[in-house]
Amino acid sequence: MIRVKGHLLVKLSICALSLSSCASLKKGNANKKTATTPAAANNNRIQFIDGIATSRTTRNNTSHYNSKDVSISKNITRGSANLENAQSWQFKYAQLLDVPVEEVLNQKLYGFIDEWYGTPYRLGGKTRDGIDCSGFVNTLMNTVFQLGLSGNSTDLFSQVKRLKPHDLHEGDLVFFRIHHKRISHVGIYLENDKFVHASTSAGVMISDLKEPYWKRYFAGGGRL
């Protein structure tokens, strides 16, 4: 009887040990799973964060290029706005003066020139049928700049304040001695060395002070 009880106690002890070892194994497995799950979650989060970081980097790059594009488009918009608002007469005279369209702004002046452009030369003339250099200058200055001018080129030369060529501005007068010791021709300075006048050969036109002919006979400029 004592032996049977001893055997039973031994068996019970072995079962208890086995159960406790199983429990510890389960706990160990559970701990492993618990430890693994956060790691996996962390891995997933890291990948997810990486994904966002990548997309953010891409977004930042895109915004960087977009900001460059915007700045460029603003520049283009400013430039194109001037061009879009420009009128045909501005393009025409910008080409004749060889200057940017944005610099051709005096509509009254260029409108007057446009109306008279090509009018034939006629000594003593003052109409669209024919006009001479002083008649054209007097008519333009009176109409556009509201100055009560009269007289021939010599008279006008005596009325102006003399200027050096690099000091000339729009509306100043330019004078020439053509085959004469006295002043014999007058025109109106525009810009970029260009001036408008009534020439004997082609009537009202725009010429360049740097042209050899006009450079040769140029007598000076002046301001009223």
Proportion of the chain above pLDDT 90, given as a percent: 59
CA–CA distances in Å: residue 177 to residues 13, 35, 88, 155, 171: 136, 104, 35, 14, 20
d(CA 24, CA 178): 121
| pLDDT per residue as tens digits for the range 194-219 | 999 999 999 999 999 999 999 999 99
Please give the positions annotated as active site: 133, 185, 197
State the pLDDT at residue 85.
80
Q: pLDDT digit of tens for each residue in the chain (224 aa)?
A: 444 444 555 454 554 544 444 444 444 444 444 444 444 444 444 444 444 444 444 444 433 333 333 322 333 333 444 677 889 999 999 999 999 999 999 999 999 999 999 999 999 999 999 999 999 999 999 999 999 899 999 999 999 999 999 999 999 999 999 988 999 999 999 999 999 999 999 999 999 999 999 999 999 999 99
d(CA 185, CA 188): 11
CA–CA distances in Å: residue 99 to residues 91, 116, 124, 129, 197: 10, 21, 33, 31, 19
Q: Between β-strands 173-176 and 161-163, what pairing exists: parallel, antiparallel or unpaired?
A: unpaired
